[in-house]
Amino acid sequence: MVNKLFESGAYLRHFGSKDRLVDINNTLRDVHTQWKQLICDAEMHGRRLAIACRDDKRVKHRYVTLGLLVS
C-alpha cells in the first residue's frame, strides 16, 4: 500500500518532503515488525502452556498409578 502511494506521489503531496516520507515508511516497518514479534511471542507462550499442561497430566497420572495421589 505504501509503495503504491509513494509511486503516485500521494505521500509527497500530503506530507511535503521526501525525508518525511522516509520517516513514515520506517515507522510503518517498525510497527509491522513489532506486530510480527508480538504474534510470534504469543504463539510461543501458547506452545509452552500446552506442553506444561501435558506434562502436568503425565505427572498426575504417575502419582495416581503409584498410589501417592487420590484422583
- Spans in the chain with pLDDT lower than 70: 1-16, 69-71
Residue 11: per-residue pLDDT: 54
* pLDDT tens digits along 18-27: 777 778 888 9
What pTM does this model have?
0.55
24 DSSP 8-state letter: H
Residue 71: per-residue pLDDT: 53
d(CA 43, CA 49): 10
Residue 13: per-residue pLDDT: 59
Residue 43: per-residue pLDDT: 95
